[in-house]
Amino acid sequence: MAWIAERILQFNQPCDPAKTLLKYKAIREISFRFLRGTIHLFYEDLVGQYTLPESPLSWLCGDLHLENFGSFKGNDHEVYFDINDFPGTNK
């Protein structure tokens, strides 16, 4: 299991150290947080295991449900209705 810890450390190495410590504390508390905080492990392993079909490039949003849609005011002072829950990445 040490190799998993090494992969997690390597992935988070360019991140802000203070925020990374908070992330590590959170992912130790609950299994669900671990899965959300280490999704890169899944995608890294997926690419190594399977040949994915050709497809268009797209953005991925893994937390897309009705509660994460809403309105907000943009920097240009216009009001927008869009996805409004972007868990902060600390990169």
Return the pLDDT at 43.
85
Task: Yes or no: say if 23 and 90 are a contact pair by the CB < 8 Å rule.
Answer: yes
Q: What is the pTM of this model?
A: 0.55
Summarize the confidence of residues 15-24 as an average pLDDT.
94
Residue 62, sorted as left (phi over 0), alpha (psi -120 to 50) or beta, turns out to be alpha
Q: Provide the residue ranges of all domains of the chain, joining segments of one domain with +.
A: 2-83
Summarize the confidence of residues 5-20 as an average pLDDT.
94
The predicted-structure confidence for 38-88, as pLDDT tens digits, reads as follows 999 988 888 777 777 788 877 666 666 777 788 888 889 999 888 776 655
How far apart are the C-alpha atoms of 90 and 16, rounded to whole Å? 6
* Helical packing angle, 39-49 and 2-12, nearest 10°: 110
β pairing state of 69-73 and 79-83? antiparallel
Return the pLDDT at 90.
40
